[in-house]
Amino acid sequence: MINDFAINVQGMTKRFGDLTAVNHVDLQVRAGEICGFLGPNGSGKTTFIRMLCGLLRADAGRGTCLGHDVITESEIIKRQVGYMTQKFSFYEDLSITENLDFVARMYSMQNRREAVQQSLERLGLTDRRNQLAGELSGGWKQRLALAACMIHQPKLLLLDEPTAGVDAKARREFWDMIHELAADGMTVLVSTHYMDEAERCARVVYLAGGRLVVQGSAAEVVQAAQLVTFEATGPGIERAVRELRRLPGVETAAVFGRALRVAGTDRASLQAAIARLGDPQLDWQEVEPRLDDVFIHMLNQQEDTA
């Protein structure tokens, strides 16, 4: 049913002069779903997110966000959406509590003190409530930003590369919080460059050159790419990867730990390249492609098209 979708838009388009940043993108995200937004820098992810939350007006397209028209009811949408930007955008000379109180004032919340206290507790910020934002590490700044964009109890979170620049532990903790919110019915659209994060989403969407290239679950996206991947272990993989990159049929070749991984769309050509390498010390086997293999494959396709 249409009402099941928190985001339901068609043909969304945004131009800046001669540049078409977002080109007729259709997107449906179900309520309570975590949707990963993938694509290289400049693919239109941020522009699309800003159109959804009413910060940019689409030049073409139609649809709804939280049941409201994305073109004519952007002011209503803004009050029901939490938007976390790429760059930390809070006052570094104010404490965590003061920053949250400022945001609550911006939303004219009547129960401001209670809302701030609940945000502090939900994000584990109570013990640091009086610490200046400028003194926080990347992970704690991330928590403050999430607390701020949730203080008005939005129904939809739009997160633009929220974990860029934070350590692995902070990323894991952040995603644990996102899944807890989704379990409570929150809808999340999150852009990311991290494939392990994309695999934690119920569905992923890939943009390239402003166009939607593919969407589905991580498994469906991998299957749609029709990639073939082989993996080798043994001595001399660093030398072998340089040679393989020059051979026809090999789209990507990279070393992961103690394994060499090659990928392409033509199984016969890949097997011929491996045979031409002729290294008896390497033990080869065909393996399932991963989402990062598909991501690199799509990037290569975009570069070839350009």
Stretch 116-134: mean pLDDT:
93
The amino acid sitting at 92 is E
Q: Do domains 2-218 and 228-288 have the same CATH topology?
A: no
How far apart, in whole angstroms, are the C-alpha atoms of residue 297 and residue 300? 5
- List the chain domain ranges: 2-218, 228-288
CATH, domain range 228-288 = 3.30.70.100
Global pTM value? 0.86
The rounded mean pLDDT for the chain is: 91
- Residue bearing tokens 């593919």: 214
Which stretches does DSSP call E strand in 93-139?
none
Cβ-contact 27, 7 below 8 angstroms: yes
Taking alpha carbons only, the member of 134, 132, 129 closest to residue 116 is: 129
The amino acid sitting at 46 is T
How far apart, in whole angstroms, are the C-alpha atoms of residue 253 and residue 263? 7
- Residue bearing tokens 């990347």: 138
- 2-218, what's its fold? Rossmann fold (3.40.50)
Give the per-residue pLDDT at 306.
55
Q: How far is CA 243 from the centre of its chain?
A: 33
Q: How confident is the model at residue 1 (pLDDT cuts 50, 70, 90)?
A: very low
pLDDT reading at 286 higher than 50: yes
Stretch 129-154: mean pLDDT:
93
The amino acid sitting at 104 is A
What percent of the chain has a predicted confidence (pLDDT) above 70?
97
